[in-house]
Amino acid sequence: MSQGNNLDEPRSEEDLNEIPEGEPGNSPVPWHFKAFLVVTVIYLIYRAYQGTEWIIHHVRI
């Protein structure tokens, strides 16, 4: 029987949600990535508006 593994003791939900230091997922998202996402969304909305305007002007009967 190994010393470090007690299979009889259930782990709490807090223990399961903890991420050890140095593991991926423990660092915050950089501000420039958030800014990139915002600018990308604004650009895509602008291009959708342009496409809609183009369709309206070229599909008139």
Does the pLDDT at position 21 exceed 70? Answer: no
How much is the average pLDDT of 32-44? 97
The range of the structural domain enclosing residue 37 comes to 29-61
| pLDDT greater at residue 61 or residue 18 | 18
Instruction: Tally the domains of the chain.
Output: 1
Share of the chain above pLDDT 70, in %: 56
- What distances in angstroms separate CA 49 from CA 9, 37, 45, 59, 60, one per listed residue? 58, 18, 6, 15, 17
Task: Give the distance, in angstroms, between the CA of residue 21 and the centroid of all CA atoms in the same chain.
Answer: 21
Residue 33 placed within a domain: yes
- Answer for the pair 19, 25: CB distance below 8 angstroms, yes or no: yes
For residue 58, give the 3-state DSSP assignment: helix
Residue 19 placed within a domain: no
Residue 4 placed within a domain: no
Does the pLDDT at position 50 exceed 70? Answer: yes
Longest pairwise C-alpha distance within the chain: 82
How much is the average pLDDT of 31-46? 97
Residue 59 placed within a domain: yes
